[in-house]
Amino acid sequence: MTPILDLRSVSAGYGPFHALFDVSLSVQPGEAVALLGANGVGKTTVARVATGLIAPSEGSVWVNGTEMTGAATFRFARAGVAHAPEGRSVFATLSVEENLRLSFRQSKGRRGVAPALDQAFTQFPSLARRRRMLAGDLSGGEQRMLSMARVLVEAPRLLVADELSLGLAPIIVDEIYNDLARLRSEGTALLIVEQQISHALALCDRVVLLEHGTVIWEGPTEDAEARVVAKIFDHAAGEEPPA
C-alpha cells in the first residue's frame, strides 16, 4: 500500500538552527499515527515539513506516491493534506461565521460555502451560538474549535494535527479528540503531534517517538506507553507518572 505521507531521511531547520536530523516516518491511508516527544524536540517542525510549510534541507517528502519536496503549500492542500497548527489560528477581528466563510470560499468555491457552514455549525453547536461574535472574543477552547472546524469540514485524506490539547480544559480536549475519532472513522488518516500522551495513545495505531530532532523509537501503541512516559517525563524518586 502506498503511504499517504512518507518522509524519507528528512533534515530541516530554520536558518542556521537545525531541528530535524534524518527523520523517516510514514502514514498509511486511514491510519492514525502519534508523533510524541517532550517540548522542543522538533515535533512541530515535522508537522510543517509534512504540510509544505517548510522545505527539508535534506531528504524527501512524498504524498500519495508523488514527490512533493519543496512544493508550495497549496499543492499539499490539493493533494488532500490538511494542517491544524498549534495555537488558535483565527482572524480575531472577524466574526466566527466570517472566519469560516473565508476558509470555505477558498477551498470550496462560492456554491460550497453554505453547505460547509451548515456542516460546521452542526458539528460544533457552541460555534453556531456564537456565529456573530468576534473570534478574538471567544475563549481559548472556542478559538481552537473554530480553527478545527475550518479543517474538519474539509474531510481531508490526511490531517496533521499539532498540539491540539495545548492550553485547553480537559472537557474541550475530550470534545476535540471525539471529533478526530469521527473524522478517522470516515476515512481520514491522522498524524497527531502531541506532548500529552493519553488521548493520542487511545486514538492511534502506531507511535513515533522523537528526541532531539531524531526518531528514537517506532512501534505499535500497545508497546509505546512505558517508553513514552520514561522519555518525556523526568520524575523525582517516588513520584508517580502522569496518566
Q: Which residues of the chain have pLDDT under 70?
A: 87-88, 229-243
- Residue 23's pLDDT is 98
Q: How many residues does the chain have?
A: 243
Task: List the grid coordinates of 99.
Answer: 472566519
Q: Quote the cell numbers at residue 149.
A: 472546524
pLDDT of residue 19: 96
- Are 147 and 139 in contact, with CB atoms under 8 Å apart? no
Q: pLDDT value at position 233?
A: 56
- For the stretch 33-90, pLDDT in tens is 999 988 889 999 999 999 999 999 999 999 999 999 999 998 998 899 998 887 667 8
Instruction: Report how far residue 151's alpha carbon sits from residue 108's, in angstroms, rounded to the nearest whole number.
Output: 12
Cα–Cα distance list, 166 to 38, 160, 162 (Å): 13, 15, 9
Grid coordinates of 10: 528528512
Residue 186: CB atoms within 10 Å? 10
Residue carrying the nine cell digits 510549510: 53
Q: Which amino acid appears at position 222 of this protein?
A: E
What confidence score (pLDDT) does residue 103 get? 85
Predicted pLDDT at 87: 63
- In order of their start, the domains of the chain are 5-185+196-232 (3.40.50.300)
Distance CA 202, CA 162 (A): 17
Query: Which three cell numbers mark 193?
Result: 503531534
What pTM does this model have?
0.84
Distance separating alpha carbons of residues 27 and 25, to the nearest angstrom? 7
Q: Which pLDDT does position 1 carry in this prediction?
A: 84
The identity of residue 232, as a single letter, is: I
pLDDT in tens, 154-167: 778 999 998 887 77
CA nearest neighbour of 168 among 158, 160, 176:
176
> So what's the pLDDT on residue 239?
42
Measured distance CA(143)–CA(112) in Å, rounded: 23
